[in-house]
Amino acid sequence: MYSNIFDSHAHYTDKAFDDDRKIMLDSLTESGICGVINCGADIESSVFSVELAKEYPFIYAACGVHPEEVDDLPEKYIQTLRKMLQNQKCVAVGEIGLDYYWRKDNKELQKKVFEEQLCLAKELNLPVIIHDREAHEDTLEILKKHKPKGVLHCFSGSAETAKEVLKLGMYIGLGGALTFKNARKAVEVAEILPLDRLLLETDCPYMAPVPMRGKRNFSGYIPYVAEKVAEIKGIDPQTVLDVTAENTRTLFGI
Ligand code: NI
């Protein structure tokens, strides 16, 4: 059995956990999970993340507005986030970024909200958790401008893009997608990625790794991702879990 499993990106606030959230979270430490960063996607889920973090010692919160949630934002959302992020268990601004897969018609608004939150993170000296889907070029350009500390979660770019991210001193998050049959790009990224820049994540309830693909994901499936990384790197899966847990603590100051 594996230990020291740190899930750097989860959404236990999602409605997929409404029926059994407490049972699920109460059992996590028994499955070897030592920590979870629970990410907000809008104001409501960010507030909920902070509540979970207050209740469970091993849960930490990230608060932020996801690019799919930028419409109809209250004018003072930055002030709301700033206040929320004062909480001791809030360790990052996230998840934030750009998503041109779902929406191409509001790119300017997505960029504006992304940059406002990067400025907030800088002001509060917090790392950021970045979502980038089919927006690699614009994301990189904005990251080069703001130079935040942080992670590109569920990284879907090429090995070349990964090298650019590494040059910025940022981390790369890999999850279930690495185990999928068509994961050629993610495998190439894992090959070139130094282990000290890797974080493991679920993005649960989504992205369950093979052989659980299609099921509801949870932090207990992270070892399948660690085993894939271990196979690619020719090392022991527990070493992957140990190093990535330490990386997560280092980045988020835990
Ligand atoms: Ni996410």
Handedness of CA 143, 166, 248, 36 (dihedral sign): positive
User: How far is residue 106's CA from residue 119's CA, in Å, rounded to a whole number?
Assistant: 20
C-beta separation of 103 from 135 below 8 A: no
Between the CA of 95 and the centroid of ligand 1 the distance, in Å, is 7
Q: How far is the CA of 10 from the centre of ligand 1 (A)?
A: 6
Read off the pLDDT of residues 157-184 as tens digits, 9 standing for 90 and up: 999 999 999 999 999 999 999 999 999 9
Single-letter amino acid, residue 197: R
Residue-level pLDDT at 213: 97
Ligand 1 being an ion, which residues bring their Cβ within 5 A of it? 203
Residue 230 per-residue DSSP state: H
- Give tens-digit pLDDT for 6-48: 999 999 999 999 999 999 999 999 999 999 999 999 999 999 9
Number of neighbouring beta carbons within 10 Å of residue 230: 17
Confidence (pLDDT) at 66: 98
Using the mean position of ligand 1's atoms as its centre, give its distance from the Cα of residue 221 in Å.
16
Q: What percent of the chain lies above the pLDDT cut of 70? A: 100
pLDDT at 249: 98
What is the model's pTM?
Answer: 0.97
Ligand 1: centre distance to CA 206 (Å): 8
The Cα-based distances of 145 to 50, 63, 139, 140, 164 in angstroms read 29, 22, 10, 9, 13
Residue 81: pLDDT band (50, 70, 90) is: very high
Given pLDDT bands bounded at 50, 70 and 90, which one contains residue 95?
Answer: very high
- Cβ distance 5 to 222 under 8 Å? yes
Model confidence band, residue 186 (pLDDT cutoffs 50, 70, 90): very high
pLDDT value for 106: 97
> What does the pLDDT read at residue 236?
98
Task: Count the alpha carbons within 13 Å of 141 in the hemisphere toward its beta carbon.
Answer: 6
Q: Tens digits of per-residue pLDDT, 47-62?
A: 999 999 999 999 999 9
180 C-alpha to center of ligand 1: Å?
18
- What average pLDDT is seen over the chain? 97
Tell me the CA–centroid distance for residue 174 and ligand 1, in Å. Answer: 12
pLDDT at position 97, please?
A: 98
| Alpha carbon of 187 to ligand 1 centroid (Å) | 20
The count of C-alpha atoms lying within 13 angstroms of the C-alpha of 128, restricted to the half-sphere facing its C-beta, is 29
Residue 234, phi-psi category: left (phi > 0), alpha (psi -120 to 50), beta (remainder): left
Residue 108: pLDDT band (50, 70, 90) is very high
Superfamily of domain 5-252: Metal-dependent hydrolases (3.20.20.140)
For the chain, give every domain's residue range.
5-252
